[in-house]
Amino acid sequence: MKLKSLAGLGVIAAIGFASCQSETKKGSSTDSTTADSVAVVKLVADSFKKEIDGKQVSLYTLKNKNNAEAIFTNYGGRLVSLLVPNKDGKLVDVVVGFKSVTDYEKSTEPYFGATIGRFGNRIAKGKFTLEGKTYSLFTNNGQNTLHGGKKGYQYVVWDATQPNPNTLELHYLSKDGDENFPGNLDVKVTYTLTDDNELKMDYEAKTDKTTVVNLTNHAFFNLNGDGSGTILNHEVQIFADEYTPVDSTLIPLGKMEKVAGTPFDFTKATTIGARIEDKNEQLTFGKGYDHNYVLNKTKGMDMFHAATVKGDKSGVIMDIYTQEPGLQFYSGNFMQSKNTFKSGAKDDFRTAIAMETQHFPDSPNQPSFPTTVLKPGQVYKTTSIYKFSK
């Protein structure tokens, strides 16, 4: 997270919000193709047309010159589908998701593809103190608050504009007291699909009262394709020498530990399944990997190179770059086969992963962690890029 002065923001905002809305045409869909026997499923725009909380939900498709596509709905600011070329040049859908907005509404897993806020990850016991005042949040993850509380941004119908075929701009005014967080938080998220097969995520926010902010995206990836089965054979490299160990409720203990000599060492490319069943208290707490990595500031794309992930069947490589200090690696340990993906497959145990660029969990209660405090007159501004190659 970068904090900048408000000077010049008006010009940026004017440019960003001057565009008019453009959405996928009625009845349009993606082309059907196959990659490694995994079908790329058609998405019908009408299945995402619905009024929720008095606002219109729609489907939005971003395209680049390589025929790659990133498909979003403004319900929860969700990434529904991401089509990129595999090793054979065929398109594969590397993001798991659903066929309709109704499926997202009734899903037992609320975070598929969603833009997360006001505070991504966990806050211990749903409480934090800011400028001498204690705030109590809704606890929706055992005794803790997760991803913004009872109605986080995954349930918001964002205002959406599509200024060009490559870009989607989302806007939401989170009012003072929203989920008991202080301050009117004006949030803008811009998703861009570049001609280099990069999905760029630009987050920006400002407040009229001191608050805490930690925005991210919760896409669930399977680089072999939606419905292709286990992710345990995906290779992962994380550019981090330390991680933040947690207690049994997945709240950081307030210290950083070396990954060397532990199952958490992904400094060299290693399959997810290689050590996930090792006897280790931290793996027991997370039921696998569900931990924040402290990025070691390896440079890449003028940011930090956070991770590289490779699909074992598709050959698709995903490189993650960010300005954030941390990366939450989640290996799909709480997937329970209760929902049906757009491919027709169930969301079975460990059939997708999340790689969330972020500030550290529970930062409002951990003074040794990088701050997530945003004050009036400052601008929260951060960028992450997910780049795909083969």
Q: DSSP labels for 229-274? A: ---TT-EEEE-EEEEE-B-TTS-B-S--EE-TTSTT--SS-EEGGG
Active site (annotated) includes residue 169:
no
Question: Residue 122, annotated ligand binder?
Answer: yes
Token duo for residue 251: 């709240």
Catalytically annotated residue among 169, 235, 356, 359: 356
Catalytically annotated residue among 23, 147, 198, 218: 218
Active site (annotated) includes residue 291:
no
Question: Residue 78, annotated ligand binder?
Answer: no
Question: Residue 312, annotated ligand binder?
Answer: no
Token duo for residue 199: 């999905």
Token duo for residue 335: 């997937």
Token duo for residue 105: 């509404």
Spatial neighbors of 372 by CB under 8 A, at least 6 apart, are 1, 119, 212, 213, 214, 359, 363, 364
Q: Which residues pair with 173 in a beta bridge?
A: 186
How far apart CA 109 and CA 115 sit, in angstroms, is 14
Torsion 20-170-100-233 (CA) sign: positive
- Pick out the residues of the known binding site for beta-D-galactose: 121-122, 290
- Pick out the residues of the known binding site: 121-122, 290
Active site (catalytic) residues:
218, 356
